[in-house]
Amino acid sequence: MVQVEAVLRARSALPSLLLTVACACEPGQPLATLEGRILTERDFQSYLAIAYSPDEAGRIRQDPARRREILTRWFDEVAVTSKARRLGLHKQPAFVKAVELAEMKALARLVTERHRARIEAIARVSPEEVRRFYEEHKEEYLTTPSFTAHHLVVYVRGNPAFPERGLSDRQARAKARLALKQLRAGQSWDVVARRYSDDLSNNERAGLIREGRFGFFAPEMERAVRT
């Protein structure tokens, strides 16, 4: 709570940051100063290029009221981010994992955009190919694939859903292996799921998933079901 309040207090200082809001500024034109750091028009334009599509960024540049709104929002984000870094929030495991995920998605998007024409050419199919594929896989479109299986969940510390809950990788793996050992020894799913699974909502059903749909579960689990 102390950290959250400290971050929120950073926002109350924003009015003192607003120096230039609507103008035809040169790239090096100072817009604000935050803790000795000068924020320039070039910085703001870089933010627009990353946060908005080219068309939307262009409309923001042409509309003084809209520019004021986005510029104020940017100042707000810069101030709060600076405060969060001073508190060391950027070093927390949950944040590090979130950055890794964002980096992966951003790099994938950039690669896709760079090779878009080639990818579209490779992916292009003729109407005849579509018709032939449908005829060969018609049953898959008439009946939605599903599966029924037992499972148990062991939380690993730093997971996106519950970052503060769970065990270390080594401890979680050991717990899962112990559960598997007991299942192979003949222990029932009802007993093992109640004892080892962190999915409390499903443990009363012995970890049973009935008519599960592919695409909604962890890839590793779906591969195991298919094999």
pLDDT in tens, 108-160: 988 988 888 888 888 888 899 999 998 888 877 777 778 888 888 888 888 77
| 9 and 63 together in one domain | yes
The pLDDT value given to residue 22: 44
Domain count, the chain: 3
Same domain, 126 and 193: no
Q: Hey, is 191 helix, strand or coil?
A: helix
Q: In terms of domains, do 123 and 193 share one? A: no
7 domain residue, yes or no:
yes
What's the pLDDT tens digit per position in 151-196?
888 888 887 767 778 888 889 899 989 989 988 999 888 888 888 8
Residue 139 lies in a domain: no
Is residue 41, in this structure, part of any structural domain at all? yes
Residue 221 falls within a domain, yes or no? yes
Structural domain contains residue 32: yes
CA distances from 77 to 2, 25, 68, 132, 208 (A): 19, 21, 14, 53, 45
DSSP β-bridge partners for residue 54 = none
Examine residue 83 and state whether it is found in any structural domain, yes or no: yes
All residues at 6 or more sequence positions from 134 whose CB lies less than 8 Å from its CB, including other chains: 141
Query: Within a domain: residue 138?
Result: no
Does 79 share its domain with 153?
no
In a domain, 180, yes or no: yes
Check whether residue 125 and residue 154 sit in a common domain: no
Domain of 168, in residue numbers: 144-226
Whether the Cβ atoms of residue 31 and residue 44 lie closer than 8 Å to each other: yes
The verdict on 100 and 56 lying in the same domain is no
Q: How confident is the model at residue 226 (pLDDT cuts 50, 70, 90)?
A: confident
